[in-house]
Amino acid sequence: MNKPKKVAILTAGGLAPCLNSAIGSLIERYTEIDPSIEIICYRGGYKGLLLGDSYAVTAEVRAKAGLLQRFGGSVIGNSRVKLTNIKDCVKRGLVKEGEDPQKVAADQLIKDGVDILHTIGGDDTNTAAADLAAFLAKNNYGLTVIGLPKTVDNDVFPIKQSLGAWTAAEQGARYFMNVVAENNSNPRMLIVHEVMGRNCGWLTAATAQEYRKLLDRAEWLPELGLSRESYEVHAVFVPEMAIDLEAEAARLRAVMDKVDCVNIFVSEGAGVEAIVAELQAKGQEVPRDAFGHIKLDAVNPGKWFGEQFAQMIGAEKTLVQKSGYFARAAAANVDDMRLIKSCADLAVECAFRRESGVMGHDEDNGNVLRAIEFPRIKGGKPFNIDTDWFTQTLAEIGQKKGGKVEVSH
């Protein structure tokens, strides 16, 4: 064992219901083992690292670190910064012209006396961490980078379950339980629930499953119009499954005629290629972020699906609601907290061994919880539409499963 002298923590990318819990769990575990180990938290993710902006974790902070379990978000702040995107870093004033952001970050870690860096983020964050770890090793900086996998999409190879995804599904279901009551605000109502998931439909499918569990536990009074049929999920659309718009429209029109409403769950990444092609054909530019990803708010898939189906099924009113920001900023639930704690404990153990990698249950190695090598970490893991519980969901709501679609990342 080689005890760390100083540890740094940063969170990056979008929010997920695990960030504060992971920060708190790491602080508590280091404090349990050896409170003399110094801890700092970089403010605003990689931005704070580049600028040397950090919080000191004092004895008072250590004593109250458990409070973080009660809150969503990241108290130390996030940012979307790609260290290998030099042009973007210069443009944002994070490095000077001619500087290499990776070297600036590495030098800042040395200046701060850090020998262990914990990164908490999704595939972009951990890809950046992998690049930084490789840079540190190549240039003999003697630092160890240890990642924790955060993403509500649950789409990181080869990790079985990403931190925060279970909570996001549960919270999205709670969100829609209120929204769905709008089905009786207007005759022939179409409600589109857009769920986060750029290239992966896991969260949409899991949210639909969690929502239907809420329906299973509810009592109904159909004699006065309170029927499960009007609260039911009538269709689930994910990027990995082909959609026959005309066939689905015919099926959903029959639902509308019978129930007087239709409720659709759709991934924000479903149908994006078709939408982008349509926008580009009109001469419209499609904006992208620092990582080259299409900005989905500009594409607005939920609105597109609503427009496609409204006329085809004879909807009088269409309501599009997005649960993403509600779900991703929640505090971690019990299941996620258990997973986060086990990953954080292993991360600290790895710090003492100077073992780099991303903590997770390795799908290529019997789902054992271990430090997964950075080069093996990548995003874009598709949701398996043949998963038993998803197949059962589609069968129960009367939706025919579409063919598999290859989703680009």
Do 269 and 198 form a contact (C-beta atoms < 8 A)? yes
Cis ω before 101 (30° cut-off from 0): no
Please give the annotated binding residues for diphosphate, written as ranges.
14
Burial 87-108 (b: 16+ CB within 10 A, else e): ebbeeeebbeeeeebbebbbeb
How far is residue 230's CA from residue 209's CA, in Å, rounded to a whole number? 16
Q: Which residues are annotated as a binding site for Mg(2+)?
A: 123
- In whole angstroms, give the CA distance from residue 26 to residue 30: 6
- Cβ(44)–Cβ(77) below 8 Å: yes
Name, in order, each residue with C-beta under 8 angstroms of 201's C-beta and a sequence gap of 6 or more: 238, 239, 240, 241, 267, 269, 270, 382, 383, 385
Quick one: how far is CA 19 from the chain centroid? 11
Binding residues: 14, 123, 151-153, 196-198, 268, 325-328
Which of 153, 155, 336, 345 is catalytic? The answer is 153
What is the largest distance, in Å, between two alpha-carbon atoms of the chain?
74
**322 phi/psi in degrees, rounded to 5:** -115, 125
Active site (annotated) includes residue 88: no
* Number of helical (H) and strand (E) elements in the chain, helices listed first: 16, 11
For the annotated catalytic residues, the residue numbers are: 153
